[in-house]
């Protein structure tokens, strides 16, 4: 009877170990889904931030044109 108790205890310990530690890793499907969602979010963020870079380039161009206009006005007054 004592052997039965030992085997029962070992079986219970094994089942507890199996339940506690078998679900510690992600499956391939879960990883693919997470990577796909992150990719979609990255594309959305990239497209929304692209407008800001276009806007900043346009403001730099306007500033450059303003500086050129001021310099040309200065040249007409100086008459080099």
| Domain ranges across the chain | 2-78
SS3 of residue 25 by DSSP: coil
How many whole angstroms separate alpha carbon 38 and alpha carbon 6?
50
Q: Residue holding tokens 């889904």?
A: 33
Q: Which two tokens stand for residue 73?
A: 């006005």
pTM of the shown model? 0.45
**Which pLDDT score is estimated for 44?**
92
**Which pLDDT score is estimated for 69?**
84
How many whole angstroms separate alpha carbon 37 and alpha carbon 43?
10
How many whole angstroms separate alpha carbon 63 and alpha carbon 46?
26
**Which pLDDT score is estimated for 80?**
56
**Which pLDDT score is estimated for 73?**
75
Sequential pLDDT tens for the chain (80 residues): 566 676 667 766 766 665 555 566 778 899 999 999 999 999 998 888 877 778 888 888 889 888 888 887 776 766 65
């Amino acid at each position: 009877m004592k052997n039965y108790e030992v085997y029962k205890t070992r079986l219970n310990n094994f089942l507890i170990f199996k339940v506690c530690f078998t679900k510690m890793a992600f499956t391939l499907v879960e990883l693919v889904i997470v990577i796909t969602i992150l990719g979609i979010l990255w594309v959305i963020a990239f497209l929304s931030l692209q407008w800001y870079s276009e806007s900043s380039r346009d403001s730099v161009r306007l500033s450059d044109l303003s500086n050129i206009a001021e310099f040309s006005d200065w040249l007409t007054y100086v008459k080099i």
